[in-house]
């Protein structure tokens, strides 16, 4: 019981969250695909200040709300942000609490609250309608995005390189954790599988077949859980966990454009 994930928070916190630091000066935002990004500060539900970047395209039909993975910061996502802009989307990406220039410390409850706060910021401060927002999850961000879609109406989901549930990936990484029942895992359980089983949203799932961090089988399980036809599964036989945008940029842009036909 001492080592049960629900009772031993440092165990899963160290496993899940690896915050990175930023190298650019505070307030400085790159220009990507000819679009100058805007520095954004907003508040999370618990009052912590969060920091993000907003790349707005005047003619874009949808805005991507980007929930990144467990390591690094938004600075490490400029490559994928460029591809999203090429695909015709506006993009809002931000750092969770404890990452980059965002205040606080990352927790499971906290990162989910951060995503809801980012969504609400786009609606209340940027004037977007919920049906204009496509929620994007990368790795850990897949679970964050699925939980967000359960709390807020949105246009669609893009799920890249994600796991099916915290219990499933923890058992894969540390087999001894398979001994613990579901109720001994922290809540929320980051159970994307359960969310997708009841979701009616259009979904694009993307995964590299050589992924050694999160097995390809997780993507297959997530896709098969979706009980409607507005879904697309894009896999890359020669890609791993973090190299899809580097190795398959043109193919990925086309996949991103294809999602629009499902909405």
pLDDT digits over 94-141, tens only?
A: 999 999 999 999 988 899 999 999 999 999 999 999 999 999 999 999
What are the distances in angstroms from CA 240 to CA 22, 160, 235? 25, 11, 10
In the predicted structure, residue 189 carries a pLDDT above the cut 80? no
* Contacts of 119 by beta carbon, 8 Å cutoff, 6+ apart: 65, 130, 133, 135, 148, 152, 154
Q: Are 256 and 84 in contact (CB under 8 A)?
A: yes
Cα separation, 32 vs 55, in Å, equals 8
Selection from 23, 29, 5 nearest residue 15 by Cα: 5
Task: Output b/e per residue, 152-186; b: 16+ Cβ within 10 A.
Answer: bebbbbbbbbbbbbbbbbbebeeeebeebeeebbb
- pLDDT tier, 1 (very low <50, low <70, confident <90, very high otherwise): low
State the chain's mean pLDDT as an integer: 89
The percent of residues above 90 in pLDDT, for the chain, comes to: 76
Q: Which residue has the higher pLDDT, 31 or 182?
A: 31
Q: Is 186 helix (H, G, I), strand (E, B) or coil?
A: coil
- pLDDT tier, 7 (very low <50, low <70, confident <90, very high otherwise): low
- pLDDT for res 6: 54
* C-alpha gyration radius of the chain: 17
In the predicted structure, residue 169 carries a pLDDT above the cut 60? no
* Contacts of 47 by beta carbon, 8 Å cutoff, 6+ apart: none
CB atoms within 10 A of CB 220: 15
- pLDDT for res 192: 93
Lowest model confidence (mean pLDDT) among 16-20, 117-121, 221-225: 16-20
Cis amide prior to 188 (ω within 30 degrees): yes
Selection from 143, 221, 135 nearest residue 187 by Cα: 143
pLDDT digits over 26-74, tens only?
A: 999 999 999 999 999 999 998 999 999 999 999 899 999 999 999 999 9
- pLDDT for res 240: 96
Beta bridge partners of 234: 206
Q: Is 28 helix (H, G, I), strand (E, B) or coil?
A: coil
- pLDDT for res 32: 98
Cα separation, 96 vs 70, in Å, equals 9
- Identify the helix (H) or strand (E) that includes residue 115: helix 108-124
- pLDDT for res 108: 86
- pLDDT for res 5: 57
């Amino acid at each position: 019981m001492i080592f049960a994930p629900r009772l031993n928070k440092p165990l899963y916190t160290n496993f899940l969250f690896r915050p990175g630091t930023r190298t650019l000066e505070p307030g400085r935002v790159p220009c990507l695909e000819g679009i100058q990004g805007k520095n954004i500060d907003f508040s999370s539900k618990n009052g912590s200040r969060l920091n993000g970047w907003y790349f707005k395209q005047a003619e874009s039909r949808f805005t991507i709300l980007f929930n990144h993975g467990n390591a690094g910061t938004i600075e490490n996502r400029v490559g994928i942000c460029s591809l999203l802009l090429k695909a015709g989307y506006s993009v809002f990406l931000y750092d969770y609490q404890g990452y980059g220039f965002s205040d606080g410390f990352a927790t499971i409850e906290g990162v989910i609250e951060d995503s809801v706060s980012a969504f609400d910021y786009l609606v209340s401060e940027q004037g977007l309608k919920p049906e204009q927002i496509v929620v994007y999850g990368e790795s850990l961000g897949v679970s964050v995005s699925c939980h967000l879609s359960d709390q807020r109406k949105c246009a669609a989901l893009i799920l890249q390189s994600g796991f099916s549930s915290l219990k499933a990936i923890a058992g894969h990484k540390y087999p001894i954790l398979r001994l613990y029942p579901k109720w001994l895992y922290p809540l929320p359980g980051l159970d994307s599988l359960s969310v997708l089983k009841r979701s009616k949203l259009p979904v694009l799932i993307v995964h590299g077949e050589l992924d050694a961090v999160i097995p390809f089988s997780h993507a297959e399980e997530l896709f098969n859980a979706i009980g409607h036809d507005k879904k697309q599964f894009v896999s890359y036989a020669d890609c791993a966990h973090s190299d899809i945008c580097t190795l398959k940029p043109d193919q990925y842009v086309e996949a991103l454009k294809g999602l629009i036909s499902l909405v």
